[in-house]
Structure 1
Amino acid sequence: MKLYIKNMVCARCKMVVESEFEKLGLQTISVELGEVELQNEITDSQKEVLLKNLQSLGFDLLDDKKTKTIEKIKNLIVDLVHHKNSELKINLSDYLVENLNQDYSTLSNLFSEIENTTIEKYFISQKIEKVKELLIYNELSLSEIADILNYSNVAHLSNQFKKITGYTPTSFKQLKDNKRIQIENL
């Protein structure tokens, strides 16, 4: 049995969610971003307790097909941007079609309808958050960051960064209160 969970965006989320399943004695086969596969069916009472526990931690169970698809799109994008830098060179629409086995225009229309933004804008906001993270770490040059995140050049990264944040990457680095946004709030 598979359950779909909203707001799972990182490895730490996976650990927390897996822990909640263990607390209830539910054996998992796999725990991935936004998705948990169980060995056995879950009872309604277990599902109720699980939902309550997950919601207290900022997660939620997803039930309808549209919401599940949106969450899968978001999880694929988060995983791509934050964990699979080398794969950023592929076309986003091809990546989503390949992983979700659905037509891109269907995915795009559904995402826009539910999220009130485009897949592309969501993808860009994830990339900008990754840029912020890398700028704060101060281990890579802007040129290296542009290369890692598959920007055509530093100017393209800088222009997009300023358009989204209102700051140049350099002025953002100099801020004492770096304004990063949690991934699940994008």
Structure 2
Amino acid sequence: MTQSSRRARALSPLATSAIAVALVGVTAGTALADAPAAAGPAKDVTRSAAAAGRHRPTPAAPFFYLTGILPSGQMYVYMPDGKGGFDDRSGVAVWPHLRYEVSIDPDLTGWQDGAYQVMDDGTLNLWRGGRLKKVATGWGRYNVAFSPGTLGHAKHPDLLARDRQGVLWRFQTRADGTLAPRVEVGTGFDRFTQVTGKGD
């Protein structure tokens, strides 16, 4: 297989992935719809050992892409180069009214194959398998969200979010992407510009 064909294959469940690059400072509803996204990625990213820099991902050491989103909604993807850096950016989608996105590995395969999206109006959507699904409303109250893994050894990774008062909340995710009721983790997290983590 040639380098170019490997890189082409490296670009197929990518739309399903995103860590919004709002790296500086920056409830639970039920799914109402499961419809194709109106503005989705222009291209996808497939699971490729070449794209992972010959690293075979595991849930403990996953392969995630870095995604940047401009105020216009234009999304760019930066693929890891396997050497601690990133390849040149690729424009993959336009998501109007997207505030930020959280990459996830719902099935704990080690591959990034989904993303929760927080929209300007506080809607929380799940983007997975080429489809956009409304999961909850009221997420305008949170200014940071991330998925550090399965903190309680659940079957699916947790979603953590910090509200504007500095309280950190944990949401257990379900197989269909919906969220269990939130549980308080702690207070005082407003002292930090950003909160993140990976692993149990």
Output the TM-score relative to the length of structure 2. 0.28
For CA contacts below 8 A with separation 6 or more, give which structure has more relative contact order: 2
Structure number with higher helix proportion: 1
Structure number with higher strand proportion: 2
Output the TM-score relative to the length of structure 1. 0.29
